[in-house]
Chain A
Amino acid sequence: MMSTRFSAKANALSRQRHTVLWLAAGPALFALALLVWPVARLLWQGLWGEPLAGLPLDDTGPWWLDGHLQWRVGWTLVQALLTCVLCLVLGLPMAWVLARLEFKGRMAWQRALMLPFVVPTLVAALGILALWGPRGVLGAPLAQAGWTLEGSPWLLLLGNLFFNLSLVVRAGMDGLAQVSAQRVAVARTLGATPWRAFWRVEWPVIAPWLASALCLVFLYCFTGFGLALVLGGQRWATVEVEIYTLIAHELALAQAASLAVAMLALTGGMAWAYAWVERSLASPARITPVPRRPVRGLAIWSGWALALGAWLLLCGAPLLALLLQAAQAVGFGQGWEVLREDDTWRAVGNTLRFSALALALATALGVLHALAGQAMRRWAPAALAWRASAYAPLVVSPVALAFGLLLLYPQWLASWPLLVAAYALLAYPFVAKALTAALDALPDQYAQAAASLGAGPVRVLWRVTLPLVAPALRRGMAFAAATMLGEFAVSLLLSRPEWLTLSTLIYQRLGRPGSANLDAALVLSAGLMALALLAFWLIEGRGEPRRVPHQD
């Protein structure tokens, strides 16, 4: 008896092990071939490879002995942490307003949260400058008052906030939707003040959601490239910009590699710690969300106004400034011209084609990654490592990656499959992350019940699990699509004129003098924004995002 039962259990375990291996093979091989191996190749070349012929600049020694590079590393760390703190302090009240209050235009605001995400980096930087720059809408009056942001770290921080604040707001909303109305009610009946109820009941529930978003924010800011390149200027730029300069322009691979290794260690450790926090905090929840209430009372009303105003100023106004300029370009300039050019429509076609292909690939990879992680739960250390690995594409320096790919697959570099794969690589973490969080929150009982009624694992997945996590999957895909449409890092790879995409076209127009080109770039940016918004809207659907099935 004992032995048969034991062997049945062993069989089940080995079957599960097989499932894990099958699920994990796809994403693991993909990441190995397109991420780990190219970066390792570049680092190897830098640290131990033969020096390249071609007059690289003299090596000035290890970075930790160079004052300039010390400053870069220190500032990169500080700006990322500072952005996280600002995002939390500003984002949480906004999330509360969106999750707990009912007001006209709430859904519109909720959708607008995604706007910053879909704006190409250089265009966003132009938007920030149009608002805060020395001649900007707000920058000019500030400069009059003797308070100029030019050459200060604020431009980069405002840029960081523009891109990341909405991420934290969104996560805070998701977290607040997981708070059980009964528990809050019980706490209040037992005499807890609203503050106390918040800290003791609500905060523990939303903390992992916020931690998850803040981790992303940190990684984005820490490894940030495009924004720091433009808004950081020469003094407030980040390490990634330094690595880019060292590799792309100076061929100083040794120094770049040692710098990249240090960055990798720091961000890798961060991703690991985060995966651990998220795993230990997440718990399945079946709850009735706290109902929304109308905006009533002076305190609530002014809170609402402050939150909305701050968001509009930080995230909305730069885009409005940009749209204003685009409208001016169409109305008074030569903005219309660009809509009649063949290049424009080819770029639109390419952007849609590449994004659709890459989205399909990213979704497949993301789903496999999340399911493998779920199946791995039994083996805690492995599961943790696997979770952390979803962040690898966001953690690794895009510059090191692009040049590693060049060293490793020169013959493929100008081919479209590699381009699509590169887009998918940078986008699949969004799908994997959203789905992993949803699977964590899903009670096991549904799947167990279906299985006990005789459904096979595939059927359980298809009929029970996937429909339950569908909103999260759609959200992840929407994020992934938006990221791809305005991707910056992929432009570091080689490109061919016939694969012109909207973002490369914008960079191209900005690379030529003359107001017609600036007008064209502005109109194209507005168009790209509209396109990304449409894609996001189509994918996420009209319904209330991530409605949790309530039971009990």
Chain B
Amino acid sequence: MTHSSFDLPKPLLARFEQEADVKLQLIQGGDAGEMLNKLILSQAAPVADVVYGIDNTLLPRAVASGILAPFPQAAGSVAQRPTLARMADTAGPDGVVAGLVPINYGYVNLNIDKAWFAQKGLALPKSLQELSNPTYRGLLVVPNPATSSPGQAFMLATVAGLGEQAAFDWWARMRANGLKVVKGWSEAYYTEFSRNGGSRPIVVSYATSPAAEVFYSKEKISAPPTANVFLPGAVFRQVEGAALLKGASPAAQAAGVKFIEFLRSPAVQQALQTRLWMYPAESGVARDAVFQHAQEPTQFEAVSLQALTAQSGSWQRRWTQVVLK
């Protein structure tokens, strides 16, 4: 079971099936949060043996629901190798929490439409506070944290970066300053972002989006038309993991372990960069050339697993109260 963004080259998947001697059946369950809830609702008769795509913001819910099976410890396995990104602060160097093995990571941050800012001659905001000034009125579009994982990640970044009270004060000011909230990332990026025909030149997206713009551009351009803006309190590191699901037969579990090892193999870690637009979690994997346009930020916000477990629900209610109601 994966979220609907999962996409790897078919020859790679076919080779895995041949080498591991298993039949791979992928099931897509919608957005990551939706996928997890579907797994929770169907836990009496699980629909899959392995899940990929649960990220660090969803980890508390996955742990509380008890759907994940522990990952077997074996010498040299992914549960023993160090990773570039850990699922949570409680994890050891291997990054594994409650059986969830990190596969890739990315950053949720603000993207801007370069042409729009050049044409208006407007300086880029230097802080979240500046963004709530009238100069930047009606320029930002964000996905709703209730229905979108990047939306959730961005909200968590503001809370972690500014502190809870200051963060919700900021959101209240942004509401008054013409903030636009949409359902998910696609709506934000493809209908509201000025680069794609919308009216808003600042959007919550990923640090890899400018690179993707170059990769998918019409005439192979050398510089992206959009740019990352890494503001303090507005960058969140999202780590996506894979895990075995409870209720699988021993044979299915063994195949599941092979699949998770496969996801961390150099070939997949190389390929996922320009398929999922994420950074590989396995250390020592070469970056794709186009990732020169996807520099990693030096600073990002983090929320402890404990705080996330205890408070993400109430933060979300509070956000809805402050921004939408």
Alpha-carbon distance between A112 and B31 when the two chains are bound, in angstroms: 35
Extra 19 A-B pairs, beta carbons < 8 Å, given A151-B180, A234-B144, A413-B47: A53-B66, A58-B317, A67-B325, A133-B197, A133-B199, A135-B194, A241-B183, A245-B146, A247-B37, A248-B30, A248-B37, A250-B146, A334-B216, A494-B1, A511-B185, A513-B209, A513-B212, A514-B216, A518-B190
CB–CB A57/B217 < 8 A:
no
Alpha-carbon distance between A56 and B316 when the two chains are bound, in angstroms: 11
Chain A residue numbers with a CB within 8 Å of B28 are 494-497
**CB closest chain-A residue, reference B209:** A513
CB–CB B61/A55 < 8 A:
yes
CB–CB A406/B4 < 8 A:
no
Q: Mark B310-325, 1 if CB is under 8 A from A, else 0.
A: 0011101100000011
Chain A residue numbers with a CB within 8 Å of B147 are 245, 248-249
Which residues of chain A in 52-99 are interfacial with respect to chain B, using CB atoms and an 8 Å cutoff? 52-58, 60, 67-68
Knowing A229-B183, A414-B25 touch, does A129 contact B60 (C-beta < 8 A)? no
Any A CB within 8 A of the CB of B218:
yes
CB–CB B199/A134 < 8 A:
yes
Chain B residue numbers with a CB within 8 Å of A67 are 325
Chain B residue numbers with a CB within 8 Å of A332 are 218
Chain A residue numbers with a CB within 8 Å of B90 are none
Q: Mark A504-524, 1 if CB is under 8 A from B, else 0.
A: 000110111111111100000
B53 shortest CB reach to chain A, Å: 13
Chain A residue numbers with a CB within 8 Å of B185 are 511
Knowing A54-B64, A406-B38 touch, does A234 contact B181 (C-beta < 8 A)? yes
Chain A residue numbers with a CB within 8 Å of B62 are 54
**CB closest chain-A residue, reference B13:** A497
Any A CB within 8 A of the CB of B29:
yes
CB–CB A230/B40 < 8 A:
no
Alpha-carbon distance between A134 and B60 when the two chains are bound, in angstroms: 40
Knowing A54-B40, A55-B309, A251-B40 touch, does A515 contact B191 (C-beta < 8 A)? no
Any B CB within 8 A of the CB of A114:
no
Residues of B in contact, count (CB < 8 Å): 64
CB–CB B146/A249 < 8 A:
yes
CB–CB B44/A410 < 8 A:
yes
CB–CB B325/A68 < 8 A:
yes
Set A52, A135, A251, A407: member contacting B198, Cβ < 8 A = A135
Knowing A53-B64, A411-B45, A516-B216 touch, does A495 contact B27 (C-beta < 8 A)? yes
Chain A residue numbers with a CB within 8 Å of B42 are 406-407, 410, 413
**CB closest chain-B residue, reference A410:** B42
Q: How many residue-residue contacts, CB under 8 A, span A and B?
A: 161
Chain B residues engaging chain A, CB cutoff 8 angstroms: 1, 4-5, 25-31, 33-34, 36-38, 40-42, 44-47, 60-62, 64-66, 144, 146-147, 180-183, 185-187, 189-191, 194, 196-199, 205-206, 209, 212-213, 215-218, 277, 309, 312-314, 316-317, 324-325
CB–CB A57/B190 < 8 A:
no
Alpha-carbon distance between A516 and B316 when the two chains are bound, in angstroms: 34
Chain B residue numbers with a CB within 8 Å of A150 are 199
Chain B residue numbers with a CB within 8 Å of A52 are 40-41, 65
CB–CB B277/A407 < 8 A:
no
**CB closest chain-B residue, reference A334:** B218
Knowing A151-B180, A494-B29 touch, does A411 contact B37 (C-beta < 8 A)? no
Any B CB within 8 A of the CB of A26:
no
Set B27, B31, B40, B199: member contacting A53, Cβ < 8 A = B40
CB–CB A511/B4 < 8 A:
yes
24 contacts between A and B (CB under 8 A): A53-B66, A54-B37, A68-B325, A133-B191, A135-B199, A234-B183, A235-B324, A241-B183, A247-B37, A248-B34, A251-B37, A251-B61, A334-B216, A410-B42, A410-B44, A410-B45, A410-B47, A413-B42, A413-B47, A494-B29, A507-B4, A512-B216, A515-B217, A516-B218
CB–CB B216/A517 < 8 A:
yes
CB–CB A407/B313 < 8 A:
no
B317 shortest CB reach to chain A, Å: 6
Chain B residue numbers with a CB within 8 Å of A495 are 4, 27-28
Chain B residue numbers with a CB within 8 Å of A135 are 194, 197-199
Chain A residue numbers with a CB within 8 Å of B205 are 513
CB–CB A514/B47 < 8 A:
no
Set B5, B40, B61, B212: member contacting A514, Cβ < 8 A = B212
CB–CB A134/B198 < 8 A:
yes
Chain B residue numbers with a CB within 8 Å of A512 are 5, 212, 216, 277
CB–CB B190/A514 < 8 A:
no
Alpha-carbon distance between A129 and B64 when the two chains are bound, in angstroms: 41
Set A60, A234, A403, A510: member contacting B182, Cβ < 8 A = A234
B222 shortest CB reach to chain A, Å: 15
B100 shortest CB reach to chain A, Å: 14
Alpha-carbon distance between A519 and B218 when the two chains are bound, in angstroms: 9
A179 shortest CB reach to chain B, Å: 44
Alpha-carbon distance between A248 and B316 when the two chains are bound, in angstroms: 15
Q: Mark A220-253, 1 if CB is under 8 A from B, else 0.
A: 0000000001100111000001000101111100
Chain A residue numbers with a CB within 8 Å of B60 are 55
CB–CB B45/A497 < 8 A:
no
CB–CB B38/A513 < 8 A:
no
CB–CB A494/B38 < 8 A:
yes
Chain A residue numbers with a CB within 8 Å of B34 are 248-249
Any B CB within 8 A of the CB of A130:
yes
Alpha-carbon distance between A513 and B38 when the two chains are bound, in angstroms: 26
Q: Range of interface residues on chain A?
A: 35 or more
Any B CB within 8 A of the CB of A349:
no
Chain A residue numbers with a CB within 8 Å of B26 are 496-497
Knowing A135-B198, A494-B38, A510-B190 touch, does A249 contact B325 (C-beta < 8 A)? no
CB–CB A514/B37 < 8 A:
no
Any B CB within 8 A of the CB of A265:
no
A126 shortest CB reach to chain B, Å: 7
Any B CB within 8 A of the CB of A492:
yes
Knowing A403-B41, A510-B190 touch, does A410 contact B4 (C-beta < 8 A)? no
Any B CB within 8 A of the CB of A268:
no
Chain B residue numbers with a CB within 8 Å of A519 are 218
Any B CB within 8 A of the CB of A333:
yes
B289 shortest CB reach to chain A, Å: 16
Chain A residue numbers with a CB within 8 Å of B206 are 513
A43 shortest CB reach to chain B, Å: 14
**CB closest chain-A residue, reference B320:** A68
Which residues of chain A in 280-317 are interfacial with respect to chain B, using CB atoms and an 8 Å cutoff? none
CB–CB B5/A410 < 8 A:
no
Chain A residue numbers with a CB within 8 Å of B66 are 53
The 7 closest A-B pairs by CB, nearest first: A514-B216, A54-B65, A410-B42, A516-B216, A134-B199, A513-B212, A410-B45
Chain A residue numbers with a CB within 8 Å of B191 are 125-126, 129, 133, 230
Alpha-carbon distance between A367 and B147 when the two chains are bound, in angstroms: 40
**CB closest chain-B residue, reference A250:** B146
Set A129, A136, A333: member contacting B218, Cβ < 8 A = A333
B65 shortest CB reach to chain A, Å: 3
CB–CB A407/B41 < 8 A:
yes
Alpha-carbon distance between A316 and B213 when the two chains are bound, in angstroms: 32
Most buried by A among B1, B37, B146: B37
Chain B residue numbers with a CB within 8 Å of A494 are 1, 27-29, 38, 47
Chain A residue numbers with a CB within 8 Å of B215 are 514
Chain A residue numbers with a CB within 8 Å of B198 are 133-135
Alpha-carbon distance between A478 and B16 when the two chains are bound, in angstroms: 43
Which residues of chain A in 380-417 are interfacial with respect to chain B, using CB atoms and an 8 Å cutoff? 403, 406-407, 410-411, 413-414
Alpha-carbon distance between A336 and B164 when the two chains are bound, in angstroms: 49
A420 shortest CB reach to chain B, Å: 17
**CB closest chain-A residue, reference B187:** A230
Chain A residue numbers with a CB within 8 Å of B216 are 334, 512-517
Chain B residue numbers with a CB within 8 Å of A249 are 33-34, 37, 146-147
Alpha-carbon distance between A141 and B27 when the two chains are bound, in angstroms: 45
